[in-house]
């Protein structure tokens, strides 16, 4: 099974999607399942994980509604305020939503005091107790602080989005690798091969620019804890879906069939606990 572990849907609203600034005019419009499905089909990708792009409870409901209508949306990573006083009620209300797999906040825009608050830590523990995972969206300079958060929450499923956004455009990687390594030493932490082209030069990136970062991710996490994600439609700022898919597909051609299958979908299936989801395709492996 091949899974795109990271993509987004939205009905564009300039107030609710204020992060889409003037540089991003090409994604200032609606992106819905009918726009994504042809790309999945053409690349033999069986399903996807839709990840929150807006910080509101309505966002989670919006994504769950889409998932109910489209069986190939295999899972949802929603949003909730982990420090909210009514978190228990919110989790109870969603307890019968099998496609709700985990949660995410946009921690890249927060300081360390925000996510090391006792209320936030307690909220993260609560979602773990309910069986959910957590997507960690941070920048490289937040890695050491985020590690302190993880140490306080026990051994629970967490995935680092977009390789923690290394500075690909400037070619800087040594400190990023050093600070990412402690995460990889914890077997319950995974990583997404996603979001790379938008951390590179949007107009002039090359495949060779991305290789060192993929090689480091593979070295640290191995194929059993790496998963492909397109970051569509954000990726359109720097490349078409097919280009993004081909980056990881080409990189994994040097691996064994089983290792390639892990990164192309099996790791995501395991991490997000996706079962009974079969569209009839086999894994994308070398002939």
Does a structural domain hold residue 282? no
CATH code of the domain in which 52 resides: 3.20.20.140
pLDDT band at 277 (very low <50, low <70, confident <90, very high): low
pLDDT in tens, 198-237: 999 999 999 999 999 999 999 999 999 999 999 999 999 9
The average pLDDT across 168-173 equals 95
The average pLDDT across 187-207 equals 98
Using the predicted structure, report yes or no on whether residue 280 has a pLDDT greater than 90: no
pLDDT band at 44 (very low <50, low <70, confident <90, very high): very high
pLDDT in tens, 24-36: 999 999 999 999 9
Query: Residue 278: its pLDDT value, please?
Result: 52
Does a structural domain hold residue 280? no
pLDDT in tens, 99-110: 999 999 999 999
Which residue range forms the structural domain that includes residue 40? Answer: 3-271
Does a structural domain hold residue 281? no
Q: Give the chain's domain count.
A: 1
Does a structural domain hold residue 287? no
Instruction: Kindly report which listed range (141-145, 249-253, 272-276) carries the lowest average pLDDT score.
Output: 272-276
DSSP the chain: --EEEEE--B---TTTTTTS-GGGGGGSS-B-HHHHHHHHHHTT--EEEEE--S-SHHHHHHHHHHHHH-TTEEEEEE---TT-TTHHHHHHHTTT-TTEEEEEE-GGGS-HHHHTSHHHHHHHHHHHHTT-EEEE---GGGHHHHHHHHHTS-S--EEEGGGG---TTTT--HHHHHHHHHHHTSTTEEEEE-S-GGGS-TTT--HHHHHHHHHHHHHHH-GGGEEE---BTGGGGT--HHHHHHHHHHHGGGS-HHHHHIIIIIHHHHHTT--S---S-------
Query: What's the mean pLDDT when you consider all of the chain?
Result: 94
Does a structural domain hold residue 20? yes
Query: Residue 282: its pLDDT value, please?
Result: 43
Higher-pLDDT residue of 216 and 278 is 216
Does a structural domain hold residue 18? yes
pLDDT in tens, 134-144: 999 999 999 99
Does a structural domain hold residue 278? no
Does a structural domain hold residue 277? no
């Amino acid at each position: 099974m091949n899974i795109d572990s990271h993509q987004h849907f939205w009905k564009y609203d300039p107030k609710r999607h204020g992060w889409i600034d003037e540089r991003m005019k090409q994604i200032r419009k609606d992106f819905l399942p009918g726009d994504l499905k042809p790309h999945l089909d053409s690349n033999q990708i069986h399903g996807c994980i839709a990840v929150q792009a807006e910080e509101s409870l309505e966002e989670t409901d919006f994504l769950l509604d889409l998932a109910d209508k489209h069986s190939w949306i295999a899972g949802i990573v929603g949003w909730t305020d982990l420090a909210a006083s009514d978190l228990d009620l919110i989790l109870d209300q969603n307890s019968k939503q099998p496609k709700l797999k985990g949660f995410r906040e946009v921690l890249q825009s927060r300081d360390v005091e925000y996510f090391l608050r006792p209320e936030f830590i307690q909220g993260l523990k609560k979602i773990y107790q309910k069986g959910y995972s957590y997507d960690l969206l941070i920048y490289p300079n937040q890695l050491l602080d985020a590690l302190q958060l993880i140490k306080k929450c026990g051994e629970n499923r967490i995935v680092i989005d977009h390789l923690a956004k290394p500075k690909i455009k400037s070619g800087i990687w040594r400190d990023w690798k050093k600070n990412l390594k402690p995460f990889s030493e914890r077997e319950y932490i995974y990583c997404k091969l996603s979001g790379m082209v938008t951390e590179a030069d949007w107009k002039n990136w090359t495949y060779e620019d991305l290789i060192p970062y993929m090689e480091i991710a593979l070295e640290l996490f191995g194929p059993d804890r790496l998963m492909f994600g397109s970051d569509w439609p954000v990726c359109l700022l720097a490349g078409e879906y097919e280009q993004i898919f081909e980056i990881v597909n080409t990189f994994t051609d040097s691996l064994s069939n089983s290792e390639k299958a892990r990164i192309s979908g099996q790791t995501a299936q395991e991490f997000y606990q996706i079962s009974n989801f079969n569209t009839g395709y086999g894994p994308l492996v070398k002939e």
